[in-house]
Amino acid sequence: MKDIACKLLVIGAGPGGYVCAIRAGQLGVDTVIVESKRLGGTCLTVGCIPSKAIIHAAEEFHKARESAAGANPLGITLSDPQIDLTKTMAWKDGAVGRLTSGVAGLLKKAKVKIVEGVARFTDGKTVAVETETGLQIIRAEAIVIATGSAPVALPSLPFGGPVITSTQALALAEVPGRLIVVGGGYIGLELGTAFAKLGSAVTIVEAESRLLPLYDAELTRPVTKRLGELGVKVLTGVQAKGLAAKGGALLVAKGDDKELRLDADKILVTVGRRPLVDGWGRDELALDMDGRSVRIDEQCRTSMRGIYAIGDVTGEPMLAHRAMAQGEMVAEFVAGHKRGWDKRAIPAVCFTDPEIVSVGLSPEAARRGGAEVLVGQFRFSANGRAMTKLDDDGFTRVVARADNHLLLGVQAVGHDVSELAAAFALALEMGARLEDVAGTIHAHPTLGEAFHEAALKALGRALHG
Amino acid sequence: MGEHVIKMPDVGEGVAEAELVEWRVKVGDLVREDAILAAVMTDKATVEIPSPVHGEVLWLGAGLGDVVAVGSPLIRLKVEGGDASAAEAPKIEAAPRAAAAPKPAPKPRGPAPIPTNAPRAEAEKPLASPAVRLRAREAGVDLRQVHGSGPAGRIEHGDLDAFFARGAPQAKSAGLARNDAVEEIKLVGLRRKIAEKMTIANRIPHITYIEEVDVTALEELRAALNKQRRPNQTKLTLLPFLMRAMVRAVAEQPEINALFDDEAGVLRQHGGVNIGIAAQTPSGLVVPVVKHAEARDLWDCAAEVNRLAEAAKAGATTRDELTGSTITITSLGALGGMATTPIINHPEVAIVGVNKIMIRPHWDGVGFIPRKMMNLSSSFDHRIVDGWNAAIFVQKLKTLLETPAMIFVEA
């Protein structure tokens, strides 16, 4: 096969990689992208997008079931709603398919060459790709490693049999009767909640003392409360010890206590993700590492000249939108523009029930940073829109510097608050002060009014709270 | 309504006048009690002058760099009520720059204070929108150097425009261009003092004598001593050895350790050897003095030089530490140079300049061998010291430094 020579080679077509390739192509950089699975990577094919589809389907089904049970205050009644999970999955696959073919179209439009196969570095300038038709050698002036991440397995609970990954959970043909979720981070809670709404009896096993340990307790409280209402059993401070010898069951224990047997049809392990730093010939290179991830600098450059790394392979926070921003930046940098990572905030969203958004610093983190802070919090129970949607649990909270009122962080927990991430991040990125948010007209009746009120409250002049 | 006149305060130490180096207020400003009005400089110390009253500035009595006599009017304030002729000189506290902290301003009522442009802390990122950040990056501008006029010090597009308009080091790219700018800088403070001293020193007919010294043995001794020094001892540099050598040399030539009062026609030969050490500070040259080097041993000299150098760098040298020298050492240290023509620290009559140690080939009669060599560039007041005597003094230093044991052996 004839060798390919190009200016930029991107390894991995996840959200980081494909954005990088599209942007480079738009800028006239001769670009090749290699992907071993499907375009779109974890996010589009087995992560963010399909999980949101399942979460939405579960939500709809759950509402219908509540209506059928006579628990609908809107006066809607239904009888005996059913869900055909194979149809749900087909619908989900359709949505994923539309998005991945959209990515292919965008890459084509940007004149990016797509090579399917597993890439392997042979040296710092050359990559060999095992394609269906043979070995393809690609030489590039610049190479971007965008290999992403993979679910972490527990040594005591290797994947296989009833023990499944999030990827497998998103492709189940039927709703498991009893589902145990090991790991109470955002992935476990999102999927656990969805399956509970689809009808599974769900138990969540978390080794830490509380769920979502990365968020403060105030933010996670409405989520914990809702899990209880959905009948999800939550065991915290408990370790998964392994499969029971006989039959589908998980053994768990609190510290050194006696092991407890939890019967299960499926056991979903979501204890985090690890950067994919192997399988692409890292041994042929001399890359400095930063713990388990590839070390990068302000321009996403690795320790080797001409080799960049973006996205999950560079470590936390492993978020698609971070990878996209890095990919865009690297493409422009390779095209000769002056660029550097100068983002002020990377929003984080949990699509739990209710949803959690966090941008910037929490009050505690801000105080730890030495700042004297003002905090303003506004509950959705006083927000008209939240009330008329029957979901008024949660709040919006702003954190600002006491001396100049500069916003340091914004968080919210509540139904559909994920959409507020845009406003929060924009405010932080623009360097807004409390007065800027307070002085902006927020449309009525919307959830965004809570942002306005929280800012007013921090200034000591709330109107509705 | 009345007028309050503030006079140049007595800044202590029997000083009769002080130089105005900074105005913190201008005519029309409202000042609070204890607010700093101006800074004045005496021989070496800078003192801030606080306002004893609330009032509006009507008149400033001096320009930057003016020397104002103690007791003459410095500033006039319009004050509420009070005696029209009230005049006072504010009391100055002993410690310079330790003016009382202004009382917190009363909390304003009503709307929150808006333009709290709290200055950016050092590690803090400049506050700017993504568009402004991108524009700055593309123009190669470090936003930390740009003043932010927006709320909370936010840098706006207009601030960048202003930065570019000022002809900041923008990407105006290569290309040679004429520069006809002339910037007038009024000499104030230490720089003016230095200029005055140098002008006086220029009246002195200098003779400068340069000699090469082989310091190989001295460097070996210094390294050996440093190796076995106790933790509480300052690391030895070459200076303490030179100081001790000078003490030995001036004992034989007392006219070199002397102050010449040329107006009175009197030469005062000093028994004590007070060695000034010329030191560079951020604001200019100062000469702290190691008092009575004849009574200090090597380690003591080293410790004192070190202490004075640290104080000078921190700007914390006292007046006493900066006066009373009888002879001076000047060293450009690592910057080195082959030779210098030092200017005498008036009214002294001798100054010894140390040049950088370099390894140079030396002909020992059979072949070239590498030796550590250093030049001494010394200047003398030719009215007092003849060339012959200058040479004897420097040759004595050379002998002592080349065979360092002689520095320590009783004569």
Looking at CA atoms only, how far is residue A429 from chain B in angstroms?
A: 6
Task: Provide the number of structural domains found in chain A.
Answer: 3
Would the CATH topology of B2-88 be identical to that of B206-408? no
Q: Which of A298, A328, A342, A344 to mutate to test the interface with B (most CBs of B within 10 A)?
A: A342
**Which is catalytic among the residues B206, B292, B362, B382?**
B382
Global pTM reads: 0.61
How high is the pLDDT of residue A194?
A: 96
Instruction: Mark whether B261 is an active-site residue.
Output: no
Residue A81 CB burial class (10 angstroms; 0-12, 13-18, ≥19): middle
- Cβ A39 vs Cβ A100: under 8 Å: yes
Does B140 contact A338 at a Cβ distance shorter than 8 Å? yes
Looking at CA atoms only, how far is residue B106 from chain A in angstroms?
A: 16
Per DSSP, the three-state class of B277 is strand
How high is the pLDDT of residue B84?
A: 47
Distance (Å, rounded) from C-alpha A75 to C-alpha B108?
A: 55
Does B137 contact A344 at a Cβ distance shorter than 8 Å? no
Query: Where a domain ends, among A307, A334, A361?
Result: A334
How high is the pLDDT of residue B78?
A: 83
DSSP A418: G
Does B125 contact A344 at a Cβ distance shorter than 8 Å? yes
Q: Which residues of B touch A431 (CB under 8 A)?
A: 127-129, 150, 152, 154
Looking at CA atoms only, how far is residue B128 from chain A in angstroms?
A: 6
Distance (Å, rounded) from C-alpha B68 to C-alpha B20?
A: 7
Does B138 contact A337 at a Cβ distance shorter than 8 Å? yes
Q: Which residues of B touch A425 (CB under 8 A)?
A: none
Does A339 contact B137 at a Cβ distance shorter than 8 Å? yes
Nearest CB among A401, A431, A459 relative to B128 is that of A431
Does A404 contact B153 at a Cβ distance shorter than 8 Å? yes
What is the value of ipTM here, to two decimals? 0.76
- Tell me, yes or no, whether A363 and A427 share the same domain: yes
How high is the pLDDT of residue B89?
A: 57
Q: Which of A338, A374, A404 to mutate to test the interface with B (most CBs of B within 10 A)?
A: A404
pLDDT, averaged per 10 consecutive residues of chain B (411 residues), comes to 78 72 83 82 72 84 81 82 55 44 44 46 78 89 87 88 74 65 82 86 92 94 91 90 94 93 90 90 85 92 91 81 92 78 92 92 91 94 93 95 88 59
> Who contacts A453 (Cβ-Cβ below 8 Å, separation ≥6)?
A376, A378, A382, A383, A396, A462, A463, A464, A465
Q: Which residues of B touch A436 (CB under 8 A)?
A: 151
- Residue holding tokens 């009330």? A387
In a domain, residue A289? The reply is yes
- Tell me, yes or no, whether A210 and A104 share the same domain: no
Residue among A45, A233, A10, A319 nearest A141 (CA): A10
- Tell me, yes or no, whether A133 and A182 share the same domain: no
Q: Which residue of A has its CA nearest to B148?
A: A431
CATH 3.30.559.10 fits B206-408, yes or no: yes
Within 124-163 of B, beta carbons closer than 8 Å to A belong to: 125, 127-130, 133, 137-138, 140, 150-154
Does A429 contact B130 at a Cβ distance shorter than 8 Å? yes
Q: Which of B137, B142, B143 to mutate to test the interface with A (most CBs of A within 10 A)?
A: B137
- Tell me, yes or no, whether A257 and A330 share the same domain: no
Q: Which residues of B touch A430 (CB under 8 A)?
A: 129-130
In a domain, residue A158? The reply is no
Q: Which residues of B touch A459 (CB under 8 A)?
A: 112
Distance (Å, rounded) from C-alpha B79 to C-alpha B59?
A: 13
How high is the pLDDT of residue A206?
A: 93
Residue among A205, A204, A206, A201 nearest A176 (CA): A201
In a domain, residue A65? The reply is no
C-beta atoms surrounding B36 within 10 Å? 17
How high is the pLDDT of residue B185?
A: 83
> Which residues constitute the domain of residue A171?
163-271
CA distances from A87 to A78, A84, B113 (A): 21, 5, 60
Nearest CB among A339, A344, A404 relative to B116 is that of A404
- Tell me, yes or no, whether A248 and A278 share the same domain: no
Nearest CB among A430, A459, A460 relative to B129 is that of A430
- Tell me, yes or no, whether A324 and A405 share the same domain: no
- Tell me, yes or no, whether A359 and A408 share the same domain: yes
For residue A230, the domain's CATH number is 3.50.50.60
- Tell me, yes or no, whether A145 and A293 share the same domain: yes
Taking 70 as the pLDDT cut, the residues of chain A under it are none
In a domain, residue A174? The reply is yes
Q: Which residues of A touch B130 (CB under 8 A)?
A: 342, 429-430
Looking at CA atoms only, how far is residue B124 from chain A in angstroms?
A: 11
How high is the pLDDT of residue A314?
A: 96
Nearest CB among B116, B138, B150 relative to A338 is that of B138
Does B152 contact A430 at a Cβ distance shorter than 8 Å? no
In a domain, residue A375? The reply is yes
Q: Which residue of A has its CA nearest to B137?
A: A338
Nearest CB among A338, A429, A430 relative to B137 is that of A338
In a domain, residue A341? The reply is no
Size of interface A-B (CB pairs under 8 A): 44
Q: Which residues of B touch A340 (CB under 8 A)?
A: 137
Residue A279 falls in which region: left (phi positive, over 0), alpha (psi -120 to 50) or beta: left
Query: Where a domain ends, among A255, A271, A287?
Result: A271
Does B116 contact A431 at a Cβ distance shorter than 8 Å? no
Does A433 contact B153 at a Cβ distance shorter than 8 Å? no
* Domains of chain B, residue spans: 2-88, 206-408
Does A429 contact B153 at a Cβ distance shorter than 8 Å? no
How high is the pLDDT of residue A3?
A: 92
Does B114 contact A435 at a Cβ distance shorter than 8 Å? yes
Q: Name the CA radius of gyration of chain B, rounded.
A: 28
Q: Which residues of A touch B151 (CB under 8 A)?
A: 404, 433, 435-436
Amino acid at B411: A
Nearest CB among B128, B130, B152 relative to A433 is that of B152
In a domain, residue A223? The reply is yes
How high is the pLDDT of residue B169?
A: 52
Q: Name the token pair of B315.
A: 């700007």
Amino acid at B213: V
Name the interface residues of A facing B (CB cutoff 8 Å).
Answer: 337-340, 342, 344, 401, 403-406, 429-431, 433, 435-436, 459-460
Distance (Å, rounded) from C-alpha A445 to C-alpha B33?
A: 52
C-alpha triplet A402, A404, A406: angle, nearest 5°: 85
In a domain, residue A259? The reply is yes
- Tell me, yes or no, whether A295 and A431 share the same domain: no
Which backbone phi and psi does A256 adopt, to 5 degrees?
-100, 10
Q: Which residue of A has its CA nearest to B120?
A: A404
Per DSSP, the three-state class of A265 is coil
- Tell me, yes or no, whether A267 and A278 share the same domain: no
Architecture of domain B2-88: Beta Barrel (2.40)
Question: What residues of A act catalytically?
Answer: 444
